[in-house]
Structure 1
Amino acid sequence: MKPIYFQIPKSTGETVRVQYDKQEHFYDNLHFHPEVQIMLITEGSGTRFIGDSIGSFGKGDILLLGPNLPHVFRNDKKYYEHDPLLKASNISVFFQIESFGEAFLSLPEVYPIQRLLLNSKRGIVIKGHTKEKVSRLVHQMVELDGFELFISLFSILNLLALSREVELLSSVGFDGPQKDADSKKINDVFTYIMNNFSEEIKLQKAADIANMSVNAFCRYFKQHTRKTFSEFLNEIRIGHACRLLIEDRWNVRETAFECGYDNISYFNRQFKDITGFTPSEYIKLHKEKFPLQLS
Protein backbone atom coordinates (compact mmCIF):
# COMPACT_ATOMS: atom_id res chain seq x y z
CA MET A 1 0.00 0.00 0.00
CA LYS A 2 1.35 3.42 -0.90
CA PRO A 3 1.51 5.84 2.04
CA ILE A 4 0.82 9.55 2.20
CA TYR A 5 3.45 12.01 3.44
CA PHE A 6 2.18 13.56 6.67
CA GLN A 7 3.53 16.82 8.08
CA ILE A 8 3.63 17.17 11.87
CA PRO A 9 2.86 20.73 13.08
CA LYS A 10 5.96 22.18 14.71
CA SER A 11 6.75 25.44 16.46
CA THR A 12 9.97 27.33 15.78
CA GLY A 13 12.78 26.15 18.03
CA GLU A 14 10.87 23.07 19.16
CA THR A 15 13.03 19.91 19.32
CA VAL A 16 10.46 17.68 21.04
CA ARG A 17 6.72 17.96 20.43
CA VAL A 18 4.13 16.34 22.72
CA GLN A 19 0.68 16.10 21.18
CA TYR A 20 -2.60 14.87 22.68
CA ASP A 21 -5.30 13.92 20.18
CA LYS A 22 -8.89 12.90 20.90
CA GLN A 23 -11.47 12.26 18.18
CA GLU A 24 -14.13 9.81 17.01
CA HIS A 25 -11.48 7.67 15.32
CA PHE A 26 -7.79 7.90 14.45
CA TYR A 27 -6.52 9.28 11.13
CA ASP A 28 -7.17 6.31 8.86
CA ASN A 29 -4.92 6.77 5.83
CA LEU A 30 -1.61 4.97 5.59
CA HIS A 31 1.01 7.71 6.08
CA PHE A 32 4.57 8.46 7.12
CA HIS A 33 6.61 11.40 8.44
CA PRO A 34 10.31 12.14 9.02
CA GLU A 35 9.86 12.39 12.80
CA VAL A 36 10.27 9.49 15.21
CA GLN A 37 7.01 8.96 17.10
CA ILE A 38 6.40 7.48 20.54
CA MET A 39 2.67 6.73 20.62
CA LEU A 40 0.64 5.86 23.71
CA ILE A 41 -2.95 4.74 23.04
CA THR A 42 -5.13 6.19 25.81
CA GLU A 43 -8.52 5.23 24.31
CA GLY A 44 -9.63 3.09 21.38
CA SER A 45 -9.06 -0.26 19.73
CA GLY A 46 -8.60 -1.56 16.22
CA THR A 47 -6.03 -2.85 13.76
CA ARG A 48 -2.57 -1.38 13.26
CA PHE A 49 -0.48 -1.55 10.10
CA ILE A 50 3.20 -0.72 10.59
CA GLY A 51 5.46 -1.31 7.61
CA ASP A 52 4.51 -4.83 6.54
CA SER A 53 3.27 -5.84 10.01
CA ILE A 54 -0.39 -6.28 10.94
CA GLY A 55 -1.66 -6.45 14.52
CA SER A 56 -4.30 -5.30 16.97
CA PHE A 57 -4.06 -2.27 19.21
CA GLY A 58 -5.92 -1.21 22.34
CA LYS A 59 -5.87 1.10 25.32
CA GLY A 60 -2.47 1.26 27.01
CA ASP A 61 -0.41 0.12 24.03
CA ILE A 62 2.85 1.97 23.38
CA LEU A 63 4.75 1.95 20.10
CA LEU A 64 7.95 3.49 18.79
CA LEU A 65 7.67 4.38 15.11
CA GLY A 66 10.85 5.30 13.26
CA PRO A 67 11.33 8.01 10.62
CA ASN A 68 9.47 7.55 7.32
CA LEU A 69 7.88 4.28 8.48
CA PRO A 70 4.43 3.86 6.85
CA HIS A 71 1.72 3.24 9.45
CA VAL A 72 -1.97 3.57 10.16
CA PHE A 73 -4.14 2.83 13.20
CA ARG A 74 -7.58 1.89 11.93
CA ASN A 75 -10.27 1.82 14.62
CA ASP A 76 -12.93 -0.89 14.82
CA LYS A 77 -16.21 -0.35 12.94
CA LYS A 78 -18.05 0.83 16.04
CA TYR A 79 -15.88 3.97 16.14
CA TYR A 80 -17.37 5.07 12.81
CA GLU A 81 -20.98 4.92 14.05
CA HIS A 82 -20.88 8.32 15.81
CA ASP A 83 -21.36 6.92 19.30
CA PRO A 84 -20.63 9.86 21.65
CA LEU A 85 -19.38 7.44 24.30
CA LEU A 86 -16.64 6.05 22.03
CA LYS A 87 -13.49 8.07 21.47
CA ALA A 88 -10.02 7.38 20.13
CA SER A 89 -7.23 9.23 21.87
CA ASN A 90 -3.46 9.10 22.15
CA ILE A 91 -0.44 10.97 23.41
CA SER A 92 2.38 11.19 20.88
CA VAL A 93 5.93 12.42 21.28
CA PHE A 94 7.60 13.55 18.04
CA PHE A 95 11.26 14.35 17.40
CA GLN A 96 13.77 14.21 14.55
CA ILE A 97 16.98 12.21 14.99
CA GLU A 98 18.95 14.91 13.16
CA SER A 99 18.15 17.37 15.96
CA PHE A 100 20.62 15.62 18.26
CA GLY A 101 23.60 15.84 15.93
CA GLU A 102 25.85 13.07 14.61
CA ALA A 103 28.62 13.78 17.14
CA PHE A 104 26.27 13.33 20.11
CA LEU A 105 24.81 10.09 18.77
CA SER A 106 28.33 8.76 18.17
CA LEU A 107 29.26 8.97 21.87
CA PRO A 108 29.88 5.52 23.42
CA GLU A 109 27.35 6.23 26.19
CA VAL A 110 24.65 6.94 23.61
CA TYR A 111 25.31 3.86 21.45
CA PRO A 112 22.37 1.82 22.87
CA ILE A 113 20.01 4.69 21.99
CA GLN A 114 21.53 4.99 18.52
CA ARG A 115 20.89 1.26 17.98
CA LEU A 116 17.31 1.65 19.27
CA LEU A 117 16.62 4.50 16.82
CA LEU A 118 18.01 2.39 13.98
CA ASN A 119 15.67 -0.48 14.96
CA SER A 120 12.74 1.95 15.24
CA LYS A 121 12.66 2.06 11.44
CA ARG A 122 10.95 -1.34 11.68
CA GLY A 123 8.49 -0.22 14.37
CA ILE A 124 8.68 -1.40 17.98
CA VAL A 125 5.94 -2.37 20.44
CA ILE A 126 6.76 -2.04 24.15
CA LYS A 127 5.62 -4.68 26.64
CA GLY A 128 5.64 -5.72 30.30
CA HIS A 129 7.02 -3.55 33.10
CA THR A 130 8.81 -1.35 30.58
CA LYS A 131 5.43 -0.47 29.08
CA GLU A 132 4.15 0.62 32.52
CA LYS A 133 7.22 2.79 33.19
CA VAL A 134 7.14 4.43 29.76
CA SER A 135 3.41 5.10 30.09
CA ARG A 136 3.96 7.04 33.32
CA LEU A 137 6.76 9.09 31.73
CA VAL A 138 4.74 9.89 28.61
CA HIS A 139 1.80 11.09 30.73
CA GLN A 140 4.20 13.32 32.69
CA MET A 141 5.64 14.80 29.50
CA VAL A 142 2.30 16.47 28.73
CA GLU A 143 3.04 18.89 31.60
CA LEU A 144 6.71 19.50 30.77
CA ASP A 145 8.51 21.88 28.46
CA GLY A 146 12.01 23.09 27.65
CA PHE A 147 14.99 21.15 28.97
CA GLU A 148 12.87 19.01 31.30
CA LEU A 149 10.99 17.69 28.27
CA PHE A 150 14.28 16.93 26.52
CA ILE A 151 15.62 15.05 29.56
CA SER A 152 12.38 13.08 29.90
CA LEU A 153 12.60 11.99 26.25
CA PHE A 154 16.10 10.62 26.77
CA SER A 155 15.00 8.86 29.94
CA ILE A 156 12.41 7.01 27.84
CA LEU A 157 14.85 6.25 25.02
CA ASN A 158 17.45 4.95 27.48
CA LEU A 159 14.82 2.79 29.19
CA LEU A 160 13.77 1.29 25.85
CA ALA A 161 17.35 0.86 24.65
CA LEU A 162 18.23 -1.26 27.70
CA SER A 163 14.96 -3.21 27.87
CA ARG A 164 14.32 -6.72 26.61
CA GLU A 165 10.56 -6.13 26.71
CA VAL A 166 10.40 -4.75 23.18
CA GLU A 167 9.35 -6.42 19.93
CA LEU A 168 10.35 -5.42 16.41
CA LEU A 169 7.37 -5.42 14.05
CA SER A 170 8.19 -4.93 10.38
CA SER A 171 10.51 -7.25 8.48
CA VAL A 172 14.20 -6.50 7.94
CA GLY A 173 13.68 -6.25 4.20
CA PHE A 174 10.93 -3.64 4.37
CA ASP A 175 12.26 -0.68 2.40
CA GLY A 176 10.02 2.18 3.50
CA PRO A 177 7.69 4.50 1.66
CA GLN A 178 7.46 5.14 -2.05
CA LYS A 179 5.68 8.26 -3.25
CA ASP A 180 3.38 8.09 -6.26
CA ALA A 181 -0.12 9.03 -7.38
CA ASP A 182 -1.63 5.71 -6.24
CA SER A 183 -1.96 6.56 -2.55
CA LYS A 184 -5.69 7.38 -2.69
CA LYS A 185 -6.80 4.28 -4.55
CA ILE A 186 -4.71 1.98 -2.37
CA ASN A 187 -6.16 3.54 0.76
CA ASP A 188 -9.61 3.02 -0.83
CA VAL A 189 -8.79 -0.69 -1.13
CA PHE A 190 -7.65 -0.69 2.50
CA THR A 191 -10.92 0.96 3.57
CA TYR A 192 -12.93 -1.60 1.56
CA ILE A 193 -11.16 -4.46 3.35
CA MET A 194 -11.54 -2.97 6.83
CA ASN A 195 -15.23 -2.19 6.29
CA ASN A 196 -16.12 -5.59 4.87
CA PHE A 197 -13.76 -8.23 6.29
CA SER A 198 -16.58 -9.74 8.37
CA GLU A 199 -18.42 -10.52 5.13
CA GLU A 200 -17.41 -12.06 1.83
CA ILE A 201 -14.51 -10.09 0.34
CA LYS A 202 -14.30 -10.05 -3.45
CA LEU A 203 -10.82 -9.95 -4.98
CA GLN A 204 -12.39 -8.60 -8.16
CA LYS A 205 -13.95 -5.75 -6.17
CA ALA A 206 -10.59 -4.83 -4.62
CA ALA A 207 -8.96 -4.91 -8.07
CA ASP A 208 -11.74 -2.72 -9.46
CA ILE A 209 -11.20 -0.17 -6.70
CA ALA A 210 -7.51 -0.05 -7.59
CA ASN A 211 -8.47 0.19 -11.27
CA MET A 212 -6.39 -2.88 -12.15
CA SER A 213 -6.95 -6.33 -13.53
CA VAL A 214 -7.02 -9.09 -10.91
CA ASN A 215 -3.61 -10.45 -11.94
CA ALA A 216 -1.98 -7.01 -11.98
CA PHE A 217 -3.55 -6.14 -8.63
CA CYS A 218 -2.31 -9.36 -7.00
CA ARG A 219 1.25 -8.68 -8.17
CA TYR A 220 1.03 -5.06 -7.05
CA PHE A 221 -0.41 -5.98 -3.65
CA LYS A 222 2.26 -8.61 -2.96
CA GLN A 223 5.02 -6.25 -4.05
CA HIS A 224 3.96 -3.49 -1.68
CA THR A 225 2.74 -5.43 1.35
CA ARG A 226 4.94 -8.55 1.12
CA LYS A 227 1.75 -10.58 1.58
CA THR A 228 -0.74 -12.10 -0.80
CA PHE A 229 -4.22 -10.58 -0.70
CA SER A 230 -5.48 -13.75 1.01
CA GLU A 231 -2.74 -13.66 3.67
CA PHE A 232 -3.45 -9.99 4.35
CA LEU A 233 -7.18 -10.59 4.71
CA ASN A 234 -6.70 -13.60 7.01
CA GLU A 235 -4.35 -11.66 9.29
CA ILE A 236 -6.94 -8.89 9.67
CA ARG A 237 -9.72 -11.39 10.36
CA ILE A 238 -7.71 -13.42 12.87
CA GLY A 239 -6.51 -10.27 14.63
CA HIS A 240 -10.15 -9.25 15.07
CA ALA A 241 -11.00 -12.78 16.23
CA CYS A 242 -8.37 -12.56 18.96
CA ARG A 243 -10.04 -9.45 20.37
CA LEU A 244 -13.51 -11.01 20.23
CA LEU A 245 -12.35 -14.12 22.05
CA ILE A 246 -10.66 -12.30 24.92
CA GLU A 247 -12.71 -9.11 25.22
CA ASP A 248 -16.28 -9.91 24.18
CA ARG A 249 -16.31 -13.50 25.44
CA TRP A 250 -17.71 -14.87 22.20
CA ASN A 251 -17.45 -18.61 21.67
CA VAL A 252 -15.26 -19.94 18.87
CA ARG A 253 -18.06 -20.65 16.39
CA GLU A 254 -19.66 -17.22 16.86
CA THR A 255 -16.26 -15.57 16.48
CA ALA A 256 -15.51 -17.43 13.27
CA PHE A 257 -18.78 -16.31 11.65
CA GLU A 258 -18.39 -12.74 12.89
CA CYS A 259 -14.93 -12.56 11.30
CA GLY A 260 -16.07 -13.75 7.87
CA TYR A 261 -15.44 -17.51 8.11
CA ASP A 262 -18.28 -19.87 7.28
CA ASN A 263 -16.06 -22.95 7.72
CA ILE A 264 -15.01 -23.54 11.33
CA SER A 265 -12.23 -25.98 10.39
CA TYR A 266 -10.67 -23.44 8.04
CA PHE A 267 -10.95 -20.76 10.73
CA ASN A 268 -9.18 -23.01 13.26
CA ARG A 269 -6.37 -23.72 10.78
CA GLN A 270 -5.88 -20.06 9.97
CA PHE A 271 -5.99 -19.10 13.64
CA LYS A 272 -3.25 -21.58 14.53
CA ASP A 273 -1.11 -20.71 11.49
CA ILE A 274 -1.16 -17.01 12.40
CA THR A 275 -1.10 -17.06 16.23
CA GLY A 276 0.60 -20.39 16.87
CA PHE A 277 -2.34 -21.52 19.04
CA THR A 278 -5.79 -22.98 18.57
CA PRO A 279 -8.60 -20.61 19.61
CA SER A 280 -9.15 -22.60 22.83
CA GLU A 281 -5.43 -22.55 23.66
CA TYR A 282 -5.34 -18.80 22.99
CA ILE A 283 -8.24 -18.14 25.39
CA LYS A 284 -6.66 -20.34 28.09
CA LEU A 285 -3.28 -18.63 27.70
CA HIS A 286 -4.85 -15.19 28.00
CA LYS A 287 -6.85 -16.16 31.10
CA GLU A 288 -3.66 -17.42 32.76
CA LYS A 289 -1.72 -14.28 31.87
CA PHE A 290 -4.47 -11.72 32.56
CA PRO A 291 -6.88 -13.39 35.01
CA LEU A 292 -8.51 -10.15 36.19
CA GLN A 293 -9.50 -9.06 32.69
CA LEU A 294 -11.68 -12.11 32.19
CA SER A 295 -13.05 -12.64 35.68
Structure 2
Amino acid sequence: MFFYVESLSFIFLILNKTCLKAQFEKISAPIHSSFKAFVYENENFNAPWHFHPEFELTFIEKGEGIRYVANSVQKFNAGDFVLFGSNLPHCWKNTLNSESSVKSLVFQWDENLLGIDWINKGEFYHIKNLLAKSSRGIKFNDNVGEAYYNEIVDIMNKPSFEKLISFIQLLNKLALINDYELLSSEHFSGSLNIKANARIDKVYEYIHAHYDKKIVLNDVASLVSMGDEAFCRFFKKSLNKSLFTFVNEYRINVVCKQLIETNKQVSQIAYECGFESLPYFYKQFQKFMNCSPLQFRKNYLNQ
Protein backbone atom coordinates (compact mmCIF):
# COMPACT_ATOMS: atom_id res chain seq x y z
CA MET A 1 0.00 0.00 0.00
CA PHE A 2 1.34 3.42 -0.91
CA PHE A 3 -1.16 5.85 0.65
CA TYR A 4 -1.48 6.68 4.33
CA VAL A 5 -4.21 8.60 6.09
CA GLU A 6 -1.63 9.90 8.56
CA SER A 7 0.10 11.81 5.75
CA LEU A 8 -2.67 14.41 5.64
CA SER A 9 -0.22 17.29 5.41
CA PHE A 10 0.25 16.27 1.79
CA ILE A 11 -2.12 17.78 -0.80
CA PHE A 12 -3.38 15.17 -3.27
CA LEU A 13 -2.72 16.45 -6.76
CA ILE A 14 -2.55 15.10 -10.30
CA LEU A 15 0.05 14.82 -12.98
CA ASN A 16 1.22 17.52 -15.34
CA LYS A 17 -0.31 16.69 -18.71
CA THR A 18 3.04 16.85 -20.51
CA CYS A 19 4.76 13.46 -20.33
CA LEU A 20 7.79 12.71 -22.51
CA LYS A 21 9.42 9.45 -23.45
CA ALA A 22 11.21 7.67 -20.62
CA GLN A 23 14.96 7.65 -20.98
CA PHE A 24 18.29 6.79 -19.49
CA GLU A 25 19.79 9.94 -17.96
CA LYS A 26 23.50 10.50 -18.20
CA ILE A 27 24.80 12.41 -15.19
CA SER A 28 28.25 13.99 -15.13
CA ALA A 29 29.74 15.41 -11.94
CA PRO A 30 31.33 18.84 -12.26
CA ILE A 31 35.08 18.97 -12.93
CA HIS A 32 37.12 18.67 -9.71
CA SER A 33 34.08 17.45 -7.77
CA SER A 34 33.14 13.98 -6.51
CA PHE A 35 29.41 14.50 -6.82
CA LYS A 36 26.77 16.81 -8.22
CA ALA A 37 24.82 19.26 -6.05
CA PHE A 38 22.45 21.71 -7.71
CA VAL A 39 19.22 23.67 -7.44
CA TYR A 40 16.55 22.89 -10.04
CA GLU A 41 14.08 25.70 -10.76
CA ASN A 42 11.53 25.76 -13.54
CA GLU A 43 7.85 26.29 -14.31
CA ASN A 44 7.31 22.56 -13.85
CA PHE A 45 9.08 19.24 -13.40
CA ASN A 46 9.69 18.29 -17.02
CA ALA A 47 11.84 15.17 -16.63
CA PRO A 48 10.17 11.98 -17.91
CA TRP A 49 10.10 8.70 -16.04
CA HIS A 50 13.83 8.03 -16.06
CA PHE A 51 16.68 6.22 -14.35
CA HIS A 52 20.42 6.64 -13.86
CA PRO A 53 23.21 4.65 -12.18
CA GLU A 54 23.80 7.44 -9.66
CA PHE A 55 22.11 7.69 -6.27
CA GLU A 56 19.93 10.76 -5.80
CA LEU A 57 18.80 12.71 -2.74
CA THR A 58 16.15 15.34 -3.49
CA PHE A 59 14.34 17.90 -1.35
CA ILE A 60 11.31 19.61 -2.92
CA GLU A 61 11.32 23.26 -1.88
CA LYS A 62 8.43 24.31 -4.13
CA GLY A 63 5.94 22.24 -6.09
CA GLU A 64 3.10 19.76 -5.67
CA GLY A 65 1.72 16.87 -7.66
CA ILE A 66 2.35 13.14 -8.12
CA ARG A 67 5.63 11.32 -7.55
CA TYR A 68 6.36 8.05 -9.38
CA VAL A 69 9.08 5.79 -7.96
CA ALA A 70 9.23 2.32 -9.53
CA ASN A 71 5.73 0.95 -8.81
CA SER A 72 4.91 3.56 -6.15
CA VAL A 73 2.43 6.32 -6.97
CA GLN A 74 2.15 9.02 -4.29
CA LYS A 75 1.17 12.62 -3.80
CA PHE A 76 3.88 15.13 -2.96
CA ASN A 77 4.20 18.80 -2.07
CA ALA A 78 6.83 21.16 -0.70
CA GLY A 79 8.93 19.36 1.90
CA ASP A 80 9.09 16.07 0.00
CA PHE A 81 12.46 14.51 0.87
CA VAL A 82 13.45 11.30 -0.92
CA LEU A 83 16.46 9.10 -1.64
CA PHE A 84 16.66 7.01 -4.82
CA GLY A 85 18.96 4.04 -5.34
CA SER A 86 20.97 3.28 -8.45
CA ASN A 87 18.86 2.76 -11.61
CA LEU A 88 15.57 3.20 -9.75
CA PRO A 89 13.00 4.67 -12.20
CA HIS A 90 11.38 7.88 -10.94
CA CYS A 91 9.86 11.22 -11.82
CA TRP A 92 7.75 14.04 -10.43
CA LYS A 93 4.80 15.54 -12.29
CA ASN A 94 3.35 18.73 -10.89
CA THR A 95 -0.22 19.95 -10.71
CA LEU A 96 -2.24 20.72 -13.80
CA ASN A 97 -2.66 24.48 -14.29
CA SER A 98 -0.43 25.24 -11.34
CA GLU A 99 0.39 28.95 -11.11
CA SER A 100 3.48 28.43 -8.99
CA SER A 101 6.92 27.37 -10.19
CA VAL A 102 8.87 24.40 -8.86
CA LYS A 103 12.19 24.20 -7.04
CA SER A 104 14.21 21.29 -5.73
CA LEU A 105 17.61 20.79 -4.10
CA VAL A 106 19.37 17.77 -5.60
CA PHE A 107 22.44 15.66 -4.80
CA GLN A 108 23.61 12.95 -7.22
CA TRP A 109 26.62 10.65 -6.78
CA ASP A 110 27.92 7.31 -7.97
CA GLU A 111 29.00 4.26 -5.99
CA ASN A 112 32.66 5.41 -6.01
CA LEU A 113 31.96 8.71 -4.28
CA LEU A 114 34.99 8.33 -1.98
CA GLY A 115 36.89 5.83 -4.09
CA ILE A 116 36.51 2.16 -4.96
CA ASP A 117 35.07 0.03 -2.14
CA TRP A 118 34.80 2.98 0.27
CA ILE A 119 31.30 1.96 1.32
CA ASN A 120 32.60 -1.31 2.81
CA LYS A 121 34.85 0.45 5.30
CA GLY A 122 33.64 0.19 8.89
CA GLU A 123 33.19 3.95 9.29
CA PHE A 124 30.47 3.92 6.65
CA TYR A 125 28.46 0.97 7.97
CA HIS A 126 25.28 2.99 8.53
CA ILE A 127 25.52 4.77 5.19
CA LYS A 128 25.94 1.39 3.47
CA ASN A 129 22.70 0.17 5.01
CA LEU A 130 20.93 3.38 4.00
CA LEU A 131 22.02 3.08 0.38
CA ALA A 132 21.00 -0.58 0.30
CA LYS A 133 17.48 0.39 1.38
CA SER A 134 17.40 3.13 -1.24
CA SER A 135 17.06 0.47 -3.95
CA ARG A 136 13.33 0.66 -3.15
CA GLY A 137 13.27 4.44 -2.74
CA ILE A 138 13.15 6.10 0.67
CA LYS A 139 10.64 8.80 1.58
CA PHE A 140 11.68 10.60 4.76
CA ASN A 141 8.77 11.90 6.80
CA ASP A 142 7.91 15.60 6.71
CA ASN A 143 9.60 16.49 9.97
CA VAL A 144 12.92 15.12 8.70
CA GLY A 145 13.00 17.36 5.66
CA GLU A 146 11.99 20.34 7.78
CA ALA A 147 14.74 19.59 10.30
CA TYR A 148 17.47 19.28 7.67
CA TYR A 149 16.40 21.94 5.17
CA ASN A 150 18.77 24.64 6.44
CA GLU A 151 21.65 22.16 6.52
CA ILE A 152 20.93 21.12 2.93
CA VAL A 153 20.94 24.74 1.77
CA ASP A 154 24.16 25.35 3.68
CA ILE A 155 25.86 22.36 2.03
CA MET A 156 24.86 23.67 -1.39
CA ASN A 157 26.77 26.88 -0.73
CA LYS A 158 29.99 25.42 0.70
CA PRO A 159 33.34 25.18 -1.12
CA SER A 160 33.99 21.79 -2.72
CA PHE A 161 35.95 20.10 0.11
CA GLU A 162 33.64 21.30 2.88
CA LYS A 163 30.66 20.40 0.68
CA LEU A 164 31.82 16.79 0.34
CA ILE A 165 32.56 16.35 4.07
CA SER A 166 29.26 17.94 5.06
CA PHE A 167 27.36 15.79 2.59
CA ILE A 168 28.87 12.59 3.99
CA GLN A 169 27.90 13.77 7.47
CA LEU A 170 24.36 14.41 6.25
CA LEU A 171 24.11 10.90 4.81
CA ASN A 172 25.30 9.44 8.11
CA LYS A 173 22.68 11.42 10.04
CA LEU A 174 19.94 10.27 7.68
CA ALA A 175 21.16 6.69 8.03
CA LEU A 176 20.43 6.84 11.78
CA ILE A 177 16.84 8.03 11.28
CA ASN A 178 13.94 5.61 11.45
CA ASP A 179 11.30 8.13 10.40
CA TYR A 180 10.82 7.04 6.79
CA GLU A 181 8.95 4.68 4.47
CA LEU A 182 10.15 2.50 1.61
CA LEU A 183 8.37 3.38 -1.60
CA SER A 184 8.43 0.52 -4.08
CA SER A 185 7.41 -3.03 -3.29
CA GLU A 186 10.08 -5.46 -2.19
CA HIS A 187 9.89 -7.57 -5.34
CA PHE A 188 9.93 -4.74 -7.85
CA SER A 189 12.56 -5.23 -10.53
CA GLY A 190 14.32 -2.02 -11.48
CA SER A 191 16.14 -3.62 -14.38
CA LEU A 192 13.79 -2.23 -17.03
CA ASN A 193 15.40 -1.59 -20.38
CA ILE A 194 14.87 1.62 -22.33
CA LYS A 195 12.16 0.04 -24.52
CA ALA A 196 10.21 -1.11 -21.45
CA ASN A 197 10.54 2.33 -19.88
CA ALA A 198 9.15 3.95 -23.02
CA ARG A 199 6.14 1.62 -22.92
CA ILE A 200 5.45 2.30 -19.24
CA ASP A 201 5.74 6.02 -19.87
CA LYS A 202 3.11 5.78 -22.62
CA VAL A 203 0.81 4.00 -20.18
CA TYR A 204 1.32 6.76 -17.59
CA GLU A 205 0.43 9.38 -20.17
CA TYR A 206 -2.65 7.50 -21.31
CA ILE A 207 -3.98 7.00 -17.78
CA HIS A 208 -3.40 10.65 -16.99
CA ALA A 209 -5.47 11.67 -20.00
CA HIS A 210 -8.24 9.07 -19.59
CA TYR A 211 -8.56 8.26 -15.87
CA ASP A 212 -12.00 9.91 -15.77
CA LYS A 213 -13.31 7.62 -18.51
CA LYS A 214 -13.67 3.87 -18.90
CA ILE A 215 -10.23 2.36 -19.47
CA VAL A 216 -10.22 -0.78 -21.61
CA LEU A 217 -7.33 -3.23 -21.44
CA ASN A 218 -7.20 -3.69 -25.21
CA ASP A 219 -6.88 0.07 -25.78
CA VAL A 220 -3.91 0.33 -23.44
CA ALA A 221 -2.24 -2.79 -24.81
CA SER A 222 -2.68 -1.55 -28.39
CA LEU A 223 -1.04 1.71 -27.41
CA VAL A 224 2.25 -0.13 -26.93
CA SER A 225 1.65 -2.62 -29.78
CA MET A 226 1.04 -5.64 -27.57
CA GLY A 227 -1.71 -8.22 -27.19
CA ASP A 228 -3.82 -8.20 -24.03
CA GLU A 229 -2.21 -11.22 -22.35
CA ALA A 230 1.33 -10.20 -23.26
CA PHE A 231 0.69 -6.69 -21.99
CA CYS A 232 -0.72 -7.94 -18.68
CA ARG A 233 2.39 -10.08 -18.12
CA PHE A 234 4.65 -7.19 -19.12
CA PHE A 235 2.95 -4.67 -16.83
CA LYS A 236 2.81 -7.06 -13.87
CA LYS A 237 6.49 -7.94 -14.30
CA SER A 238 7.47 -4.27 -14.70
CA LEU A 239 5.56 -2.76 -11.77
CA ASN A 240 4.60 -5.80 -9.70
CA LYS A 241 0.94 -4.86 -9.88
CA SER A 242 -1.86 -5.13 -12.42
CA LEU A 243 -2.86 -2.33 -14.76
CA PHE A 244 -6.17 -1.78 -13.01
CA THR A 245 -4.62 -1.71 -9.55
CA PHE A 246 -2.40 1.04 -10.89
CA VAL A 247 -5.39 2.85 -12.43
CA ASN A 248 -7.31 2.67 -9.16
CA GLU A 249 -4.34 4.08 -7.24
CA TYR A 250 -4.24 6.99 -9.64
CA ARG A 251 -7.98 7.60 -9.42
CA ILE A 252 -7.95 7.47 -5.61
CA ASN A 253 -5.25 10.17 -5.65
CA VAL A 254 -7.53 12.41 -7.70
CA VAL A 255 -10.51 11.59 -5.49
CA CYS A 256 -8.59 12.66 -2.39
CA LYS A 257 -7.65 15.94 -4.03
CA GLN A 258 -11.33 16.60 -4.72
CA LEU A 259 -12.36 15.63 -1.18
CA ILE A 260 -9.90 18.18 0.18
CA GLU A 261 -10.39 21.02 -2.27
CA THR A 262 -14.13 20.91 -3.01
CA ASN A 263 -17.48 20.45 -1.29
CA LYS A 264 -18.74 18.03 -3.93
CA GLN A 265 -20.72 15.00 -2.91
CA VAL A 266 -18.67 11.81 -2.65
CA SER A 267 -20.73 10.10 -5.35
CA GLN A 268 -20.16 12.97 -7.79
CA ILE A 269 -16.42 12.85 -7.20
CA ALA A 270 -16.35 9.09 -7.67
CA TYR A 271 -18.12 9.23 -11.03
CA GLU A 272 -16.03 12.19 -12.22
CA CYS A 273 -12.87 10.22 -11.44
CA GLY A 274 -13.87 7.24 -13.57
CA PHE A 275 -15.52 4.90 -11.05
CA GLU A 276 -18.69 3.43 -12.58
CA SER A 277 -19.93 1.65 -9.45
CA LEU A 278 -20.21 3.27 -6.02
CA PRO A 279 -19.86 -0.02 -4.07
CA TYR A 280 -16.66 -0.75 -6.00
CA PHE A 281 -15.42 2.80 -5.42
CA TYR A 282 -15.96 2.57 -1.64
CA LYS A 283 -14.19 -0.79 -1.57
CA GLN A 284 -11.17 0.62 -3.41
CA PHE A 285 -11.04 3.75 -1.25
CA GLN A 286 -11.07 1.66 1.92
CA LYS A 287 -8.36 -0.57 0.46
CA PHE A 288 -5.94 2.28 -0.25
CA MET A 289 -6.83 4.77 2.48
CA ASN A 290 -7.98 2.59 5.38
CA CYS A 291 -11.05 4.77 5.94
CA SER A 292 -14.18 5.95 4.18
CA PRO A 293 -14.18 9.03 1.91
CA LEU A 294 -16.26 11.02 4.41
CA GLN A 295 -13.94 10.06 7.26
CA PHE A 296 -10.96 11.07 5.16
CA ARG A 297 -12.50 14.50 4.51
CA LYS A 298 -13.39 14.86 8.18
CA ASN A 299 -9.87 13.89 9.29
CA TYR A 300 -8.35 16.41 6.92
CA LEU A 301 -10.63 19.25 8.07
CA ASN A 302 -9.85 18.44 11.69
CA GLN A 303 -6.17 19.05 11.04
Determine if the TM-score, normalized by the shorter chain, exceeds 0.5: yes
2:80, 2:142 within 8 Å by CA — same for their partners in 1?
A: no
Match of 1:146 among 160, 163, 166: 160
1:66, 1:117 within 8 Å by CA — same for their partners in 2?
A: yes
Report matched runs for 1:2-17 at 5 Å: 4-17=23-36
Map of 2:92 onto structure 1: 73
Report the identity percentage: 30
Match of 1:184 among 190, 198, 215: 198
Match of 1:136 among 144, 150, 163: 150
Q: Which is helix-richer, 1 or 2?
A: 1
Deviations 1:210-246 (A, max 9, x none): 0112222122111111111110100111122223323
2:66, 2:76 within 8 Å by CA — same for their partners in 1?
A: yes
Normalising by structure 1, report the TM-score. Answer: 0.87
Deviations 1:114-155 (A, max 9, x none): 100110111000114322122222222332231221122123
Letter in 1 for 2:281: F
Question: For the residues of structure 2 that align with 1:284 and 1:153, how far apart are their CA atoms?
Answer: 41
* Distance apart, 1:268 and its partner CA: 1.5
* Distance apart, 1:67 and its partner CA: 1.1
Question: For the residues of structure 2 that align with 1:88 and 1:197, how far apart are their CA atoms?
Answer: 25
1:62, 1:135 within 8 Å by CA — same for their partners in 2?
A: no
1:185, 1:210 within 8 Å by CA — same for their partners in 2?
A: yes
Match of 1:48 among 49, 57, 67: 67
1:65, 1:121 within 8 Å by CA — same for their partners in 2?
A: yes
Match of 1:106 among 120, 141, 147: 120
5+ residue gaps, structure 2:
1-20
Map of 2:288 onto structure 1: 274
Distance 1:215-1:23 versus aligned 2 partners, 3 A rule: same
2:187, 2:240 within 8 Å by CA — same for their partners in 1?
A: no
2:57, 2:107 within 8 Å by CA — same for their partners in 1?
A: yes
Map of 1:126 onto structure 2: 140
Question: For the residues of structure 1 that align with 2:199 and 2:147, how far apart are their CA atoms?
Answer: 40
Letter in 1 for 2:240: R
Map of 2:184 onto structure 1: 170
1:3, 1:177 within 8 Å by CA — same for their partners in 2?
A: no
Distance 1:109-1:283 versus aligned 2 partners, 3 A rule: farther
Decide which moves more: 231-240 or 102-111.
Answer: 102-111
* Distance apart, 1:285 and its partner CA: 3.4
Map of 2:232 onto structure 1: 218
5+ residue gaps, structure 1:
80-84
2:138, 2:180 within 8 Å by CA — same for their partners in 1?
A: yes
